[in-house]
Amino acid sequence: MTYMRIEVFKEVLNNLRKLITSESKKGKSLFIYERKSSPLDYFEELHIQVRLDNYKDIILQEETKLELGGFKKKSFSLVYPFSNSDFSKYIKKDRITLIGPEIKDISDRTIDFGMIILIGGENINENNWDSLKQFNFISNGIDGFMIRTIPRKFWCRISEHVIKNFTFEFLGNAVFHLYKEKFKSLIELMEIFFINSYPELIDESIKITSEITTSINEKWLKKIEDWKKRIDCDYDWGCEICPYQEECYDIKQVLVEREKIGK
Protein backbone atom coordinates (compact mmCIF):
# COMPACT_ATOMS: atom_id res chain seq x y z
CA MET A 1 0.00 0.00 0.00
CA THR A 2 1.71 3.20 -1.19
CA TYR A 3 0.17 6.66 -1.30
CA MET A 4 3.12 8.61 -2.64
CA ARG A 5 6.27 8.04 -4.61
CA ILE A 6 9.42 7.04 -2.76
CA GLU A 7 11.27 10.02 -4.26
CA VAL A 8 8.72 12.42 -2.82
CA PHE A 9 8.83 10.82 0.62
CA LYS A 10 12.63 10.95 0.62
CA GLU A 11 12.65 14.61 -0.40
CA VAL A 12 10.10 15.58 2.26
CA LEU A 13 12.10 13.95 5.07
CA ASN A 14 15.43 15.29 3.80
CA ASN A 15 14.05 18.82 3.61
CA LEU A 16 12.52 18.54 7.09
CA ARG A 17 15.81 17.35 8.58
CA LYS A 18 17.75 20.07 6.75
CA LEU A 19 15.37 22.72 8.09
CA ILE A 20 15.74 21.48 11.67
CA THR A 21 19.56 21.32 11.41
CA SER A 22 19.74 24.76 9.83
CA GLU A 23 17.50 26.37 12.44
CA SER A 24 19.40 24.74 15.31
CA LYS A 25 22.63 26.25 13.96
CA LYS A 26 20.92 29.63 14.14
CA GLY A 27 20.38 29.13 17.86
CA LYS A 28 17.02 27.42 18.12
CA SER A 29 16.77 24.74 20.80
CA LEU A 30 17.19 21.18 19.49
CA PHE A 31 16.89 17.92 21.42
CA ILE A 32 17.30 14.38 20.10
CA TYR A 33 15.84 11.60 22.22
CA GLU A 34 15.66 7.85 21.75
CA ARG A 35 12.92 5.44 22.75
CA LYS A 36 13.42 3.98 26.23
CA SER A 37 14.12 0.26 26.38
CA SER A 38 12.03 -0.05 29.58
CA PRO A 39 9.23 2.50 29.15
CA LEU A 40 7.13 1.36 32.11
CA ASP A 41 10.05 1.85 34.50
CA TYR A 42 10.67 5.25 32.94
CA PHE A 43 7.03 6.32 33.40
CA GLU A 44 7.10 5.10 36.99
CA GLU A 45 10.22 7.17 37.72
CA LEU A 46 8.40 10.27 36.45
CA HIS A 47 5.24 9.40 38.41
CA ILE A 48 3.08 9.80 35.29
CA GLN A 49 0.82 6.88 34.43
CA VAL A 50 0.51 5.63 30.84
CA ARG A 51 -2.15 3.00 30.13
CA LEU A 52 -4.49 2.38 27.21
CA ASP A 53 -8.00 3.89 27.62
CA ASN A 54 -7.51 4.62 31.31
CA TYR A 55 -7.53 8.45 31.45
CA LYS A 56 -10.60 9.78 29.68
CA ASP A 57 -11.27 12.79 31.94
CA ILE A 58 -11.53 16.18 30.25
CA ILE A 59 -8.88 18.65 31.43
CA LEU A 60 -10.62 21.97 32.03
CA GLN A 61 -9.02 25.32 31.29
CA GLU A 62 -8.54 26.07 34.99
CA GLU A 63 -6.75 22.72 35.45
CA THR A 64 -4.40 23.34 32.54
CA LYS A 65 -0.82 24.39 33.22
CA LEU A 66 0.33 24.37 29.59
CA GLU A 67 -1.58 24.27 26.31
CA LEU A 68 0.16 23.17 23.13
CA GLY A 69 -1.45 24.79 20.09
CA GLY A 70 -5.04 25.93 20.31
CA PHE A 71 -7.25 28.62 18.84
CA LYS A 72 -4.89 31.57 19.21
CA LYS A 73 -1.67 29.72 18.35
CA LYS A 74 -0.29 28.02 15.28
CA SER A 75 -0.71 24.27 15.37
CA PHE A 76 -0.65 21.23 13.13
CA SER A 77 -0.50 17.46 13.37
CA LEU A 78 0.46 14.88 10.80
CA VAL A 79 0.30 11.11 11.23
CA TYR A 80 1.46 9.11 8.23
CA PRO A 81 1.27 5.30 8.32
CA PHE A 82 2.96 3.48 5.45
CA SER A 83 3.66 -0.10 4.39
CA ASN A 84 6.25 0.54 1.68
CA SER A 85 9.47 -1.02 3.01
CA ASP A 86 11.50 1.31 0.76
CA PHE A 87 10.28 4.23 2.90
CA SER A 88 11.81 2.64 5.99
CA LYS A 89 15.39 3.42 5.00
CA TYR A 90 14.65 7.14 5.47
CA ILE A 91 13.17 6.74 8.96
CA LYS A 92 15.32 7.09 12.07
CA LYS A 93 13.72 4.31 14.07
CA ASP A 94 12.65 5.08 17.67
CA ARG A 95 13.87 8.67 17.46
CA ILE A 96 12.14 11.71 18.94
CA THR A 97 13.27 15.07 17.55
CA LEU A 98 12.26 18.20 19.43
CA ILE A 99 12.97 21.63 18.03
CA GLY A 100 11.91 24.19 20.55
CA PRO A 101 12.39 24.48 24.31
CA GLU A 102 11.71 21.67 26.73
CA ILE A 103 8.70 22.14 28.97
CA LYS A 104 10.74 23.21 32.02
CA ASP A 105 12.03 26.18 30.01
CA ILE A 106 8.60 27.34 28.82
CA SER A 107 7.07 30.19 30.81
CA ASP A 108 3.99 30.87 28.64
CA ARG A 109 0.71 29.08 29.30
CA THR A 110 0.02 28.56 25.58
CA ILE A 111 2.55 27.91 22.82
CA ASP A 112 2.62 27.16 19.09
CA PHE A 113 2.90 23.42 18.51
CA GLY A 114 3.31 20.88 15.73
CA MET A 115 3.62 17.11 15.81
CA ILE A 116 4.62 14.66 13.08
CA ILE A 117 4.33 10.89 13.60
CA LEU A 118 5.65 8.49 10.96
CA ILE A 119 4.62 4.84 11.30
CA GLY A 120 5.90 1.95 9.21
CA GLY A 121 4.72 -1.65 9.04
CA GLU A 122 4.54 -4.25 6.29
CA ASN A 123 1.00 -5.23 7.28
CA ILE A 124 -0.46 -1.70 7.35
CA ASN A 125 -3.38 -1.70 4.92
CA GLU A 126 -6.71 -0.08 4.07
CA ASN A 127 -8.44 -1.78 7.01
CA ASN A 128 -6.16 -0.40 9.73
CA TRP A 129 -4.83 2.79 8.13
CA ASP A 130 -7.58 5.03 9.54
CA SER A 131 -7.21 3.60 13.06
CA LEU A 132 -3.48 4.37 13.05
CA LYS A 133 -4.23 8.03 12.39
CA GLN A 134 -6.56 8.50 15.37
CA PHE A 135 -5.54 10.42 18.51
CA ASN A 136 -8.20 9.23 20.97
CA PHE A 137 -6.19 6.35 22.37
CA ILE A 138 -3.21 8.68 23.00
CA SER A 139 -5.39 11.30 24.67
CA ASN A 140 -7.07 8.62 26.80
CA GLY A 141 -3.83 6.83 27.63
CA ILE A 142 -1.76 9.47 29.46
CA ASP A 143 -2.58 10.78 32.91
CA GLY A 144 -2.92 14.57 32.95
CA PHE A 145 -2.77 14.93 29.15
CA MET A 146 -5.52 15.58 26.62
CA ILE A 147 -5.65 16.03 22.85
CA ARG A 148 -8.44 17.77 20.97
CA THR A 149 -8.84 18.25 17.22
CA ILE A 150 -11.25 20.09 14.97
CA PRO A 151 -10.82 20.82 11.25
CA ARG A 152 -7.55 22.74 10.78
CA LYS A 153 -6.92 22.99 14.54
CA PHE A 154 -5.10 20.72 16.96
CA TRP A 155 -4.17 21.27 20.59
CA CYS A 156 -3.07 19.47 23.73
CA ARG A 157 -3.53 20.28 27.40
CA ILE A 158 -1.12 19.32 30.17
CA SER A 159 -2.56 19.30 33.66
CA GLU A 160 -1.13 21.11 36.65
CA HIS A 161 -0.67 17.85 38.56
CA VAL A 162 1.78 16.27 36.07
CA ILE A 163 3.60 19.31 34.66
CA LYS A 164 6.56 19.04 37.08
CA ASN A 165 7.88 15.85 35.44
CA PHE A 166 6.26 16.16 32.00
CA THR A 167 8.71 16.54 29.10
CA PHE A 168 8.54 16.12 25.34
CA GLU A 169 10.90 13.17 25.78
CA PHE A 170 8.25 11.60 28.02
CA LEU A 171 5.45 12.45 25.56
CA GLY A 172 7.32 10.85 22.66
CA ASN A 173 7.98 7.71 24.68
CA ALA A 174 4.34 7.58 25.78
CA VAL A 175 3.21 7.83 22.15
CA PHE A 176 5.62 5.03 21.15
CA HIS A 177 4.41 2.85 24.01
CA LEU A 178 0.68 3.39 23.39
CA TYR A 179 0.97 2.68 19.67
CA LYS A 180 2.84 -0.56 20.37
CA GLU A 181 0.34 -1.55 23.04
CA LYS A 182 -2.65 -0.91 20.79
CA PHE A 183 -1.34 -2.19 17.47
CA LYS A 184 1.20 -4.79 18.65
CA SER A 185 3.33 -6.31 15.88
CA LEU A 186 1.57 -4.26 13.19
CA ILE A 187 4.07 -1.46 13.85
CA GLU A 188 7.68 -2.12 12.90
CA LEU A 189 9.16 1.36 13.21
CA MET A 190 8.20 4.89 14.22
CA GLU A 191 9.74 8.36 14.29
CA ILE A 192 8.32 11.47 15.96
CA PHE A 193 8.97 15.20 15.47
CA PHE A 194 7.81 17.91 17.89
CA ILE A 195 8.02 21.59 16.97
CA ASN A 196 7.10 24.30 19.43
CA SER A 197 7.39 28.03 20.16
CA TYR A 198 8.68 28.97 16.68
CA PRO A 199 5.63 29.90 14.54
CA GLU A 200 7.72 30.52 11.41
CA LEU A 201 9.24 27.05 11.74
CA ILE A 202 5.79 25.52 12.07
CA ASP A 203 4.72 27.32 8.87
CA GLU A 204 7.80 26.01 7.07
CA SER A 205 7.24 22.46 8.35
CA ILE A 206 3.65 22.55 7.09
CA LYS A 207 4.92 23.67 3.68
CA ILE A 208 7.59 20.95 3.54
CA THR A 209 5.20 18.16 4.52
CA SER A 210 2.39 19.39 2.24
CA GLU A 211 3.10 16.56 -0.24
CA ILE A 212 2.28 14.02 2.46
CA THR A 213 -0.80 15.98 3.54
CA THR A 214 -1.97 16.15 -0.07
CA SER A 215 -1.62 12.38 -0.50
CA ILE A 216 -3.67 11.82 2.67
CA ASN A 217 -6.35 14.27 1.51
CA GLU A 218 -6.51 12.59 -1.89
CA LYS A 219 -7.07 9.27 -0.16
CA TRP A 220 -9.95 10.75 1.87
CA LEU A 221 -11.50 12.33 -1.21
CA LYS A 222 -11.37 8.97 -2.98
CA LYS A 223 -13.07 7.28 -0.03
CA ILE A 224 -15.79 9.95 -0.02
CA GLU A 225 -16.33 9.56 -3.76
CA ASP A 226 -16.47 5.76 -3.45
CA TRP A 227 -19.01 6.07 -0.64
CA LYS A 228 -21.16 8.54 -2.57
CA LYS A 229 -21.21 6.18 -5.54
CA ARG A 230 -22.13 3.29 -3.30
CA ILE A 231 -25.22 5.05 -1.92
CA ASP A 232 -26.00 6.75 -5.24
CA CYS A 233 -25.29 10.26 -3.90
CA ASP A 234 -24.97 12.92 -6.60
CA TYR A 235 -24.54 16.02 -4.39
CA ASP A 236 -21.48 18.21 -5.05
CA TRP A 237 -20.84 19.36 -1.48
CA GLY A 238 -18.58 17.56 0.99
CA CYS A 239 -20.00 15.15 3.55
CA GLU A 240 -19.10 17.37 6.52
CA ILE A 241 -21.53 20.12 5.39
CA CYS A 242 -24.17 17.91 3.82
CA PRO A 243 -27.70 18.54 5.21
CA TYR A 244 -28.46 14.83 4.81
CA GLN A 245 -25.41 13.68 6.78
CA GLU A 246 -27.46 12.02 9.54
CA GLU A 247 -29.63 10.07 7.10
CA CYS A 248 -26.53 9.03 5.15
CA TYR A 249 -24.90 7.79 8.34
CA ASP A 250 -27.96 5.65 9.12
CA ILE A 251 -27.78 4.10 5.66
CA LYS A 252 -24.08 3.43 6.13
CA GLN A 253 -24.73 1.59 9.40
CA VAL A 254 -27.32 -0.62 7.70
CA LEU A 255 -24.86 -1.49 4.93
CA VAL A 256 -22.12 -2.26 7.46
CA GLU A 257 -24.45 -4.64 9.35
CA ARG A 258 -25.48 -6.32 6.11
CA GLU A 259 -21.80 -6.89 5.27
CA LYS A 260 -21.23 -8.49 8.68
CA ILE A 261 -24.16 -10.85 8.19
CA GLY A 262 -22.90 -11.82 4.74
CA LYS A 263 -19.43 -12.82 6.01
Q: Does a structural domain hold residue 224?
A: no
Do 245 and 137 share a domain, yes or no? Answer: no
Report if residue 222 sits inside a domain: no
Q: Are residues 59 and 140 in the same domain?
A: yes
Tell me, yes or no, whether 1 lies in a domain. Answer: no
Tell me: do 199 and 260 sit in the same domain: no
Task: Work out the pLDDT band at 154, boundaries 50, 70, 90.
Answer: confident
Q: Computed from CA positions of residues 44, 30, 211, 90, in that sequence, does the dihedral angle turn out positive or negative?
A: negative
How high is the pLDDT of residue 215? 77
pLDDT digits (tens, 9 = 90+) for 194-219: 999 999 999 999 999 998 988 776 66
Q: Is residue 194 part of a domain?
A: yes
Please give the DSSP secondary-structure letter assigned to residue 3: S
Query: 142 forms bridges with which residues in the sheet?
Result: 50
**138-152, 162-176, 246-260, range with greatest mean pLDDT:** 162-176
| Domain boundaries, position 137 | 6-217
Domain annotation covers residue 14: yes
Residue bearing the bigger pLDDT, 209 or 257: 209
Residues 38 and 60 in one domain: yes
Q: What is the pTM of this model?
A: 0.83
Helices (H), 47-187: 85-88, 126-132, 136-139, 168-183
Same domain for 157 and 260: no
Same domain, 48 and 96: yes
CATH of residue 93's domain is: 3.30.1650.10
The secondary structure of 193-245, three-state, reads EEEECCHHHHHHHHHHCHHHHHHHHHHHHHHHHHHHHHCCCCCCCCHHHCCCH
Amino acid at 238: G
Domain co-membership, 243 together with 188: no
Same domain, yes or no, for 239 and 179?
Answer: no
Phi–psi pair at 122, nearest 5 degrees: -60, -30
- Within this chain, do residues 138 and 78 fall inside the same structural domain, yes or no? yes
Number of domains comprising the chain: 2
pLDDT one-digit tens code per residue, 38-84: 999 999 999 999 999 999 989 999 999 999 998 889 999 999 999 98
